[in-house]
Amino acid sequence: MFSVKTRKNESLDLKNETHMDTDQVNVRYMVEDVNAAIEFYTKYLGFTIGINAAPAFADVTRGNLRLLLSGRKSSAGRAMPDGTLPFPGGWNRIELVFENLSEEVEKLKAQGLHFRNDIVTGPGGSQILLIDPSGNFIELFEPKEVTEAHKKERATNAVGSAHK
C-alpha cells in the first residue's frame, strides 16, 4: 500500500496491485493547474476523477482512457538533466469520438470553451481541436461512417417530412 494526501490533508491509502488493466490506455498531460484541469475534463468531457493529489497530480478516466494530469510539483514536472522543464501544449493529443460533432462543438462553445480551428473534414471523418486550460489539445472526432449515416438519416427524414 502507498498513500497520498487529500486536500484536507487526510491520508488516502491506495491498493498496491501487481495486476494492471491491459485494456487501459494511460496518457500524461502536463498542466499548469491540476484543479482547473480536473474541472475541465470532468465537467465538459465526461471524465471521472480518480486520484486527486493536487496541486501535483490527478488522474481522470473516460472508458479505457486514463488521463494523467501532472502539474509542476509532480515527479513528471521535474527538470531534465539539461535543465529543460516539461510544459503543456504541443501537437500530440488524445482523440475523443462523437456521433454528432457539430452538436458537441456548439454545446461546448456555448459553455465558453475555446477551439484552435474550425471543423475540418477529410477522408476518415471530421475533426476539431479543443484547447484545455493549459493549452493541451483534445481532438474531437466524428468518423466518416457516422457522418455519412447522419447525412442519409437527415435526407430520409427530410423526404419523409415533405411527403406528409
Q: What is the pLDDT of residues 111-125, one digit of tens each?
A: 999 999 999 999 999
Do 53 and 1 have their domain in common? yes
User: Is the pLDDT reported for residue 141 higher than 50?
Assistant: yes
pLDDT of residue 20: 54
Instruction: Look at the chain and report how many structural domains it folds into.
Output: 2
Identify the CATH number of the domain in which residue 155 sits.
3.10.180.10
Do 6 and 75 have their domain in common? yes
Its domain, for residue 83, covers: 1-88
pLDDT of residue 2: 36
pLDDT of residue 82: 94
Percent of the chain with pLDDT over 90: 68
Do 6 and 41 have their domain in common? yes
- How big is the chain by its Cα radius of gyration, in Å? 20
Instruction: Read off the pTM.
Output: 0.72
Classify burial at 54, counting beta carbons within 10 Å of its beta carbon; exposed 0-12, middle 13-18, buried 19 or more: buried
Rounded Cα gap, residues 83 and 18, in angstroms: 34
User: For 111, left (φ over 0), alpha (ψ -120 to 50), or beta?
Assistant: alpha
Do 96 and 131 have their domain in common? yes
Give the cell for residue 115.
477551439
Q: What is the pLDDT of residues 47-79, one digit of tens each?
A: 999 999 999 999 999 999 999 999 999 999 999
Do 19 and 65 have their domain in common? yes
Do 108 and 84 have their domain in common? no
Do 98 and 80 have their domain in common? no
Average pLDDT, the chain: 85
